[in-house]
Chain A
Amino acid sequence: AQSVSQHNHHVILSEAASLELGCNYSYGGTVNLFWYVQYPGQHLQLLLKYFSGDPLVKGIKGFEAEFIKSKFSFNLRKPSVQWSDTAEYFCAAYNQGGKLIFGQGTELSVKP
């Protein structure tokens, strides 16, 4: 079955630390990839997306993600996190069948 896996369930960092959240997907063929973020008390919103082209994509708030096809990975990165980045982060993979499948989510806590 198609699936998306996120390696880390809860990550705790201090401000200014670098962040990398892992995501792997199990689809073959063409796949569209996303990272969504859910800040405390808010609804899910798009952070960044990859459809094709440059495998390094940049999103809002200084986040970026790299698509590595050979590793079926789409890891999220940020060089220096802020307290306001505290949130839950979801990786998602979208196939041409119209279904967007999410990973289990990673809760990020940034200590001031």
Chain B
Amino acid sequence: GAGVSQSPSNKVTEKGKDVELRCDPISGHTALYWYRQSLGQGLEFLIYFQGNSAPDKSGLPSDRFSAERTGGSVSTLTIQRTQQEDSAVYLCASSFKPPNTGELFFGEGSRLTVL
């Protein structure tokens, strides 16, 4: 597609439920990133994919968080047993294999609200 596409754009869920967030990167981009944006916290790195593998999962906050990428394209971020502190905007970005350009192209984000 023309840009990075994320869905859903908004998700309201109850504490304890599982949620899945989807990211469809720009065609041809091999690198895919997930970040979390919270008020006053800036952008928190979660995980990075190169192709289908994740060289760096160091940012995942807990074992309730997991992510996968299939076919070198679409990625899903799953949060199990959601907690109120998981409320944030989850941003996906993609780029050509780093460090060729380093520029990340961001999606609009998925706003998650946990009640």
Chain A residues close to B by CB (< 8 Å): 6, 9, 32, 34, 36, 43-46, 49, 51, 90, 92, 94, 96-105
Contacts and interface: CB of A to CB of B under 8 A. Distances in A.
17 contacts: A43-B109, A44-B93, A44-B106, A45-B106, A46-B103, A46-B104, A49-B103, A51-B102, A90-B43, A94-B102, A97-B55, A97-B56, A98-B48, A98-B98, A104-B41, A104-B42, A105-B42
B107 interface: yes
Interface of B: 31, 33, 35, 40-43, 45, 48, 50, 55-56, 91, 93, 98-99, 102-104, 106-109
Nearest to A44: B106
A104 B91 contact: no
Nearest to A95: B99
B55 A105 contact: no
Contacts of B48: 98-99
B99 A100 contact: no
Q: Which of A43, A96, A105 counts the most B-chain CB atoms under 10 A from its CB?
A: A43
9 residue pairs, one from A and one from B, having the closest CB atoms: A104-B42, A102-B43, A44-B106, A105-B42, A43-B106, A94-B102, A98-B98, A32-B102, A43-B108
A92 B48 CA distance: 15
Nearest to A30: B99
